[in-house]
């Protein structure tokens, strides 16, 4: 076999491989037959599928997951997305939702923050029961970005307490978190005010709040101050007049 024959055979094989690959890619066998959305609690499946932007004629092998991820994360309540292809035609989309955790007022607007202090939404109303953050100092905000505050240390303390309140399933019981006095952060359950000081031993203090609320009957209706700035075996309620 001479050199020209070898080149012809190689070219023929390459063309056959390319043609086979093209036929596979355009084959209905690899059309997306089913899209399974996982991990969404707040965001509707229909919204995610619309942002995904695929149809029953889309080829699962040609799906650009980078662009699909960017479109889906255009919803700021979604923090991350992962994809898994189950060939020939099943696509699994797993979303990781951000957690709305607090409100902040800015003029007439209600800013919704997640548990890292990121602005998820801007509204004119309160929807679900979340604490209102009081005492933060800022002049501007950007949706999708961490709130830019001048008192950054106080903000870090708020974020820490917010995350702990979520972990202990208390976040929806809290009406206000007040950092107007950074040396004495106040966590309120309606008119019941817990003085927690700074963020030292924050986990222990939140566990103390849990214990107090479990022991007090009708804690959400009580008016008073409970000082938990120092660790002790008992805490006392100072009623408000």
Query: What burial class does residue 21 get, using C-beta atoms within 10 Å of its C-beta: 0-12 exposed, 13-18 middle, 19+ buried?
Result: exposed
Every domain of the chain and the residues it spans: 31-97, 100-239
Average pLDDT over residues 97-111: 95
The answer on pLDDT for 147 being more than 90 is: yes
Number of residues that make up the chain: 241
The predicted pLDDT at position 236 comes to 73
CATH number of 31-97: 3.10.20.310
Tell me the average pLDDT of the chain. 88
Backbone angles phi, psi at 111, to 5 degrees: -90, 135
The answer on pLDDT for 3 being more than 60 is: no
Task: Assign domain 100-239 to its CATH architecture.
Answer: 3-Layer(aba) Sandwich (3.40)
More confident residue, 87 or 238: 87
The answer on pLDDT for 6 being more than 60 is: no
Do the Cβ atoms of 60 and 68 come closer than 8 Å? no
Residue 10's pLDDT band (cuts 50, 70, 90) = low
Residue 56's pLDDT band (cuts 50, 70, 90) = confident
The predicted pLDDT at position 26 comes to 61
Strand partners, 193: 188, 225
Kind plus residue range of the DSSP H or E element containing 103:
strand 100-106
Query: What burial class does residue 102 get, using C-beta atoms within 10 Å of its C-beta: 0-12 exposed, 13-18 middle, 19+ buried?
Result: buried
pLDDT in tens, 176-212: 999 999 889 999 998 899 999 999 999 999 999 999 9
Cα separation, 128 vs 174, whole angstroms: 12
The predicted pLDDT at position 223 comes to 87
CA 38 from chain centre, in angstroms, equals: 15
Cα separation, 56 vs 85, whole angstroms: 15
């Amino acid at each position: 076999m001479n050199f020209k024959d070898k080149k012809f055979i190689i070219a023929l094989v390459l063309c056959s491989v390319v043609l086979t690959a093209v036929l596979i890619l355009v084959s209905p066998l690899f059309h997306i037959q089913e899209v399974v959305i996982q991990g969404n609690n707040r965001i509707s499946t229909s919204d995610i599928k619309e942002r995904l932007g695929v149809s029953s004629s889309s080829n699962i092998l040609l799906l650009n997951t980078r662009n699909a991820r960017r479109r889906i994360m255009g919803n700021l309540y979604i923090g991350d997305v992962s994809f898994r292809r189950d060939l020939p035609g099943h696509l699994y989309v797993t979303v990781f939702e951000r957690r709305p955790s607090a409100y902040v007022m800015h003029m007439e607007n209600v800013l919704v923050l997640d548990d890292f202090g990121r602005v998820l939404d801007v509204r004119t109303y309160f929807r679900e029961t979340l604490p209102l953050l009081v005492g933060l100092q800022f002049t501007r905000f950007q949706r999708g970005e961490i709130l830019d505050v001048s008192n950054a240390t106080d903000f870090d303390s708020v974020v820490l307490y917010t995350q702990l309140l979520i972990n202990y399933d208390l976040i929806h019981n809290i009406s206000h978190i007040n950092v107007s006095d950074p040396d004495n952060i106040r966590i309120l359950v309606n008119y019941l005010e817990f003085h927690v000081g700074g963020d030292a031993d924050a986990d222990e203090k939140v566990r103390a709040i849990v214990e107090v609320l479990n022991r007090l009957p009708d804690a959400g209706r009580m008016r008073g101050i409970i000082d938990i700035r120092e660790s002790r075996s008992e805490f006392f309620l100072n009623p408000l007049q």
